[in-house]
Amino acid sequence: MSILKTFSHSTRAANAGRILLLALVLAVTLAPGAWAQEMTAGRKAGRGLAGITLGVLEIPGNIVQETRTNGGFSGATVGLGVGLGKFVARELIGVYELLSAPFPIPEGYQPVLTPEFPWQYFESEKGRPYGFDDGYLQDEERDFQQLKGAVVVRGRGALTVRFPSDLLFSLESSTLGAAAKQRLNKVADTLNRHPDTQIQIRGYTDTSGSDDYNLTLSNARAASVSDYLIQRGVSADRIESMGFGPAGPIASNLTADGRRSNRRVEIQVRAGNVSAFR
pLDDT tens, per residue, the chain with 278 residues: 555 455 455 666 666 667 766 666 655 554 443 333 333 677 777 777 888 888 888 888 888 877 876 778 888 998 899 889 888 888 888 888 788 777 765 555 555 444 444 333 333 344 333 333 335 577 788 888 888 888 888 765 678 899 988 889 888 899 998 889 999 999 999 999 888 888 999 999 999 989 999 999 999 999 999 999 999 999 999 999 999 999 988 889 899 999 998 999 999 988 764 444 43
Return the DSSP state at 52.
Answer: H
For 176, other C-beta atoms within 10 Å of its C-beta total: 19
User: What phi, psi does 102 have (nearest 5°)?
Assistant: -70, -10
3-state secondary structure (DSSP) of residue 215: helix
Tell me the C-alpha distance between 186 and 234, whole Å: 12
Angle at CA of residue 63, ends 62 and 67, nearest 5°: 115
H-type alpha helices, the chain: 2-34, 40-54, 58-70, 72-74, 80-99, 138-144, 178-193, 211-231, 256-262
Note the pLDDT of residue 212: 93
Q: Is the dihedral of CA 144, 146, 148, 153 positive or negative?
A: positive
Res 51: pLDDT: 80
- CA 166, 168, 174, 177 torsion-angle sign: positive
- What is the largest distance, in Å, between two alpha-carbon atoms of the chain? 87
CA distance linking residue 266 with residue 165, whole number of Å: 9
Give, as one character, the DSSP assignment of residue 273.
Answer: T
Which residue from 62, 53, 112, 116 is spatially nearest to 84, judged by alpha carbons? 62
Residue 123: the pLDDT is 39
pLDDT value for 105 = 58
Domains of the chain: 35-122 (no CATH), 138-271 (3.30.1330.60)
For residue 154, the SS3 value is strand
How many C-beta neighbours within 10 Å does residue 25 have?
A: 10
How far apart (Å, rounded) are the C-alpha atoms in residues 133 and 144?
20
Contacts of residue 127, Cβ cutoff 8 Å, sequence gap at least 6: none
d(CA 128, CA 7): 51
